[in-house]
Amino acid sequence: MRKAVMAVILLGIAFLIIRTNLIITDKPEQSPCPDKDYREICGTITRGETLFDIFKRYSLDIKELFYLKEASANIHKLRELYPGRPYKIIVDENNKINSFTYWINEDSILNIKRNESGFCAEKKDVEYERRIKHIGGTIKDNLILSMGEGKENLMLALQLSDIFAWDIDFTTDLRNGDTFKIVVEGFYLDGEFKKYGEILSAEFLNNGEIYYAYRFEYDGKVDYYDAEGKLLKKAFLKAPLNFRRISSGFTGKRLHPILKIYRPHHGLDYAAPSGAPVSAIGDGTVTFAGYKGQYGKLVVIKHPNNYKTYYGHLSKIEKGITKGIKVTQGQIIGYVGTTGLSTGPHLHYEIRINNKAVNPLAVKMTRGTSIPKPLIARFIRLKSEMNAQLALIIPPVFAFAGENKNSRLQ
């Protein structure tokens, strides 16, 4: 009796080991299959590793590797394997391949199985389980740090910054103690969280002002709308230095540059690292691109309604940005530098209306399109559903030592 119990426990442990291997093994390991005649080899491709290496390590028949490659040639070439991607080989008691599985990317799996005539390959979609996740956060220093570690959290931070890019400049507007709430799709495999999908709704409390975003689809177009059902997109972005673009050039601890903003004259100066990409604030036509006195390398864009924007002290003007060229909102037009009359790398940014410089921070752009009347009822239903979910999220509370007043230099 006791032996039987032990056997069940051991089997359970063995099963757990296999399950764990499937998901997180770094080094290839051999594990006994619950099915006694088969052996399972699971692992994750390491840098520079080839299937040949793996076959040699486990004394598998190199001829079979050739057949595997042949079988999958039209579906996915096995010549190149990518580091970090999991694989699984099942072999029978004679060390013959029964099946070979390789995760081509996050969304598809290559599956090669033995049949009567040899091997047969197919590509399958990874079947994730979709769950709705609630995420709440409080800003501590910057958005990326406040979202938590890991690639998925970084992607979520960038997605959030893209959604609110017309209202919030995530490099200079954030204050310690700002809060965010996000309702987002989460994709799971075997009960384990794998990745985020789309943000369905979000709430951002920035410096006492509250912003909402609701993902809404009609006529095959998906966009984010505010609480009034108006498109979050506006004619001008909040800032010419895009948070996603600025953040992507940095790694590790330097991933989160905090920019400073200064207003010494008719315009804004963004202290930013040299080489940081500068984006067109809105659609328009380039009226100047070249060197101009104190501005150094300068790009001027003319927008509708007699608006013009100036981007000065650039280290480099983007290729193809020349007089007469049309640019779209967010397009890279150049890179931060210190050309002209400048003491260090910064972007000089001006908005002119009818050729008169105005304070860019005071320019208020109205929102674009509203959701069409016949769809408003559907939007309101979605909104109240989302609001109910947002209300469940409670961002953490931290104590801050009143440093906020100094966080923006003017």
- Given the complex with Zn ion, which of 173 and 350 has the nearer CB atom? 350
Q: Least distance (Å) from Zn ion to the CB of residue 346? A: 7
- Quick one: residue 21, left, alpha or beta (phi over 0 = left, psi -120 to 50 = alpha)? alpha
CB-based contacts of 341, cutoff 8 Å, min separation 6: 293, 294, 295, 296
- Given the complex with Zn ion, which of 308 and 348 has the nearer CB atom? 348
Q: Least distance (Å) from Zn ion to the CB of residue 349? A: 8
Considering only residues 339-358, where is the footprint of Zn ion by CB under 5 A?
Answer: 348
Q: Least distance (Å) from Zn ion to the CB of residue 263? A: 9
Q: Least distance (Å) from Zn ion to the CB of residue 267? A: 5
Q: Least distance (Å) from Zn ion to the CB of residue 355? A: 18
Name the residue number minimizing CB distance to Zn ion: 348
Which one, of 206, 268, 274, 276, lies nearest residue 247 by Cα? 276
- Given the complex with Zn ion, which of 265 and 326 has the nearer CB atom? 265
Considering only residues 241-280, where is the footprint of Zn ion by CB under 5 A?
Answer: 269
- Given the complex with Zn ion, which of 45 and 268 has the nearer CB atom? 268
The residue whose two tokens read 């990409």 is 277
Q: Least distance (Å) from Zn ion to the CB of residue 351? A: 13
String of contacts with Zn ion for each residue 299-338, x by CB under 5 A: ----------------------------------------
- Given the complex with Zn ion, which of 211 and 310 has the nearer CB atom? 310
- Given the complex with Zn ion, which of 39 and 348 has the nearer CB atom? 348
241: tokens are 């230095």
- Given the complex with Zn ion, which of 347 and 382 has the nearer CB atom? 347
- Given the complex with Zn ion, which of 173 and 269 has the nearer CB atom? 269
Q: Least distance (Å) from Zn ion to the CB of residue 343? A: 10
Q: Least distance (Å) from Zn ion to the CB of residue 359? A: 13
What number of chain residues touch Zn ion (CB under 5 A)? 2
Q: Which residues bind Zn ion (CB under 5 A)?
A: 269, 348
